[in-house]
Structure 1
Amino acid sequence: MNAQGRPTRPRGDERRRQILDVALRLFAERGFTDVSVADVAGEVGITTAGLLHHFGTKNALLIAVLQERETRNGQVDESLRAEGKDWLETFVGRLEQNEDHPALVQLFALLSAESITRDHPGHDWFVERYRVLAETSSHEMDRLLDPAKLPQGVTATTVSQWLVGLADGLRLQQLLNPGSVDRIESVRAFVGMLEQYRRDDPA
């Protein structure tokens, strides 16, 4: 509160948000390697020292940008689940909403590819992210699908791997050749094919 009893503007939080938005856009356009701290600071309108005051290092900024993307996706998930959608419906809904923010889609594709090398600062983050995704998707698919209805040799884990692989692969094709595929409709069609394998009463 200020002297007049009015709440003060959280300038630190606003500046941090501004830095994240600019870094997200620049990383999406050019990748992590080709963007310097000075590049981000210049577009924000602050000094390099001012940016590092908020994030410490360029690597820390990268992790913050990646986590910001996950936070936004988590908010979308919560909203969709609050509408009564199950995990599969939420998965498709999140992809659909992400399409409205192409910079986020491109950011994830570019940084995930860069981070394949072990010395990339995002490597461990992406490894853990995909580990958690695989674990979660397998668990949720097992809860939704009836193993007795699945084709021989196919498990809930198999289906979850197909789903994640389909979404990732179509994202890459879409970015490389815009208009060549319809990622959302293809994933939605795959999810629709799974209807025949759903449990009558999900666990």
Structure 2
Amino acid sequence: MSVTERKTRPHGDARRRTVLTVATELFSQRGYNAVSIADVAKEAGLSQAGLLHHFPTKRALLLAVLQERDRGGDAPTPHGVDFLQAFTDALRHNDATPQLVQLFALLSAESISEDHPAHEWFVERYDTLVAELTAEVAAAVDPDKLPAGIDAETLARWIIALADGLRTQALLSPESFVRADSVEAFLAVLRPYLRAEDSEDPGTVGIPDGY
């Protein structure tokens, strides 16, 4: 790396972060289709050429926004019942930033169209989430205790659908209820179906503080 690159990169990184922040705000307010590169550049205080230096296309900008929003930390991944608790923790954390929740709601709905630039990203994300949550539900729940016709994948899809549907309701009426509390209450209903080692601990799937 040259001296010039070392000197200019921090400034370039700051501009990139500014663009992502502005794009997140605009996409969350208007959706993807109603926002232009010119809109983002103007709000970010850049020329269109300056913005395109960091994000060569509007599609690239959108995917960068989604990846930034979905970026995880380096903490160890919990498993089984602990994963379900972490899932609700994540909802509570996300809901503390309504703008990002609204962004995800708008873009996930828009991306149902196959020609939307985020369509494949959302399809892959939901496929991954269903597979991951199915595995963790299977680790937590005793299949012999479940009602006929209900399996780990069914429960995983219910949990995801509940979180998504409540997200829309919470965005429309933010003062009426807390999404994480409702998902948490549903998980508490699963206690009778947990494996013996998990069901013995009454606090494992409940409504502990911060969950």
Secondary structure of 2:145's counterpart equals coil
Amino acid at match of 1:167: A
Contact 1:171 1:183 in 2 (8 A): yes
Q: Deviations over 1:173-192 (max 9, x none)?
A: 11123333431111010111
Contact 1:80 1:90 in 2 (8 A): no
Structure-to-structure mapping, 1:179-198, within 5 angstroms:
179-198=175-194
- Equivalent residue for 2:143, pick from 143, 147, 152: 147
Secondary structure of 1:86's counterpart equals helix
- Equivalent residue for 1:93, pick from 70, 89, 92: 89
Are 1:161 and 2:189 matched, yes or no?
Answer: no
Structure-to-structure mapping, 1:51-62, within 5 angstroms:
51-62=51-62
Taking structure 2 as the reference length, the TM-score comes to: 0.85
CA RMSD of aligned residues (A): 2.2
Aligned twin of 1:42: 42
Secondary structure of 2:175's counterpart equals coil
Q: Deviations over 1:96-147 (max 9, x none)?
A: 0111100110000000011111111111111111111111111111111111
Taking structure 1 as the reference length, the TM-score comes to: 0.88
Aligned twin of 2:23: 23
Query: Quick one: higher RCO (CA 8 Å, sep 6+), 1 or 2?
Result: 2
CA distance in 2, matches of 1:80, 1:89: 14
CA distance in 2, matches of 1:189, 1:152: 22
Secondary structure of 1:148's counterpart equals helix
Aligned-pair CA distance for 1:152: 2.1
Contact 1:80 1:93 in 2 (8 A): no
CA distance in 2, matches of 1:122, 1:17: 20
CA distance in 2, matches of 1:45, 1:8: 18
CA distance in 2, matches of 1:47, 1:194: 54
CA distance in 2, matches of 1:181, 1:166: 14
Structure 2: any 5+ residue segments left out of the alignment?
A: 199-211
Amino acid at match of 1:90: A
Between the aligned residues of both structures, percent identity stands at 53
Are 1:110 and 2:116 matched, yes or no?
Answer: no
Aligned twin of 1:68: 68
